[in-house]
Amino acid sequence: MKKILLALVVLGALPLASGCKWFKSPAKENLEPPAELTQIANEIKVDKLWSRNLGKGVGKAGLKLKPAVMDGRLFASDGGGDVYALDPDKGTVVWHTDTKANIGSSAGVGEGLVAVGTLDGEVIALDAGSGAERWRASATSEIVAAPAVAAGLVIARSYDGRVYAFDVKNGERRWVFDRTVPLLSLRGNGAPTIVAGRVLLGYDNGKIDALKIQDGTLAWEQTLANSEGRTELARMVDIDGELGVGPSEVFGATFQGQIGGLSIDSGRQLWSREFSSYGGVAFDAGQVYSADADGNVWALEARSGASVWKQDVLAHRWLSTPAYADGFVVVGDFEGYVHWLKADTGELRARTKLGDKGVRAAPVAIGNVVYVTGAKGELAAYRVAGG
């Protein structure tokens, strides 16, 4: 039986899909209106360093495509099948490859390779230097999470819960890990995260798994949120976004459940608190950052989960997963605005606009430069003036 997918749309409805069929969205009058944007006190200037259109974007596919950086280049994918290598300082194209595939994931990079997943269940590996195709490998369902590359392997997660390890040289399958997934879930998967010889994954059942990268066996599994309720919808506790990684901890957030921290070594739960998020978490400077399902942005102490601050001025604006950038927390919203909040206080200090179709993917911060992708295929680089 195919898994029924739950996708999020701009106005806040939760349409369900089985195959290509969609339920009608709830009436607009039943939805919480997004907070109006008001003038920012003590506003700072954000410079747009460059911008470029990469293709058709993601359309209505519900994908969250963001760039990756390796060896002084920026790598980005587009739903139309294109993969780009760019100069991160100027935005100029170094190479461009048309894979002629239905790309579903962001680019994963490592060991001289750029890997993308497709909606047809393929992993495509390109040479990072030239863009030439090295190999293609098959999975059993669509891949919408960026593959991870390390230890001579490309780790890819398919939508049916399986995790594959392919040889970085030729795409030969090395191991497969199979995990049963719930019938109903949010539209999306968090990307595999490789740290300390382990592959960390957040699942739709509210659990975080750690696999041994050498053979794919389970090192540990920990429940972040329990599935409760009388209906499939009430029991949804997806970990749908990015995991945050600290020096020895991994942090995750669930829909209709919890946000918490675990020990990378053992999976021991360090703390948890009630929380609901459609996205993931970011970690930096001893704090965990996440946007909840109501559009509030939070900063929590990484050691205890205690609240540092909560910012509600962006309520119901369908925020992306935050990114930490040189003292700021950066989030995008459904109208294409990008917001800069002070990481120590949560104060909103700057705003710019990328496009008119929304920012779904988490911004990518490299030092004080932030790269943001829009749903229509826009990619831009920003920096706080004077930063």
DSSP 89-147: TT--EEEEEE--S-B-S--EEETTEEEEEBTTSEEEEEETTT--EEEEEE-SS---S--
pLDDT recorded at residue 356: 84
The string of pLDDT tens digits covering residues 337-352 is 999 999 999 999 999 9
pLDDT recorded at residue 15: 35
Nearest to 67 by CA among 362, 383, 385, 375: 362
For 5, the enclosing helix (H) or strand (E) is strand 4-6
pLDDT recorded at residue 190: 84
pLDDT recorded at residue 277: 92
pLDDT in tens, the chain (387 residues): 334 444 443 333 343 333 333 223 344 444 789 999 999 988 999 999 999 999 887 766 678 999 999 999 999 999 999 999 999 999 999 999 999 999 999 999 999 999 999 999 999 999 999 999 999 999 999 999 999 999 999 999 998 889 999 999 999 999 999 987 766 666 667 899 999 999 999 988 889 999 999 999 999 999 987 767 676 676 677 888 899 999 999 999 999 889 999 999 999 999 999 999 999 999 998 999 999 999 999 999 999 999 999 999 999 999 999 999 999 999 999 999 999 999 999 999 999 999 888 999 999 999 999 999 999 999 999 999 876
Domains of the chain: 1-31 (no CATH), 65-187 (2.40.128.630)
Here the tokens at position 39 are 């003038």
Could you tell me the pTM of the whole model? 0.91
Here the tokens at position 121 are 């269940």
Measured in degrees and rounded to the nearest 5, phi and psi for residue 242 equal -65, 145
pLDDT recorded at residue 387: 63
pLDDT recorded at residue 23: 28
- Please name every residue paired with 253 in a beta bridge, in sequence order, or none if there are none: 259
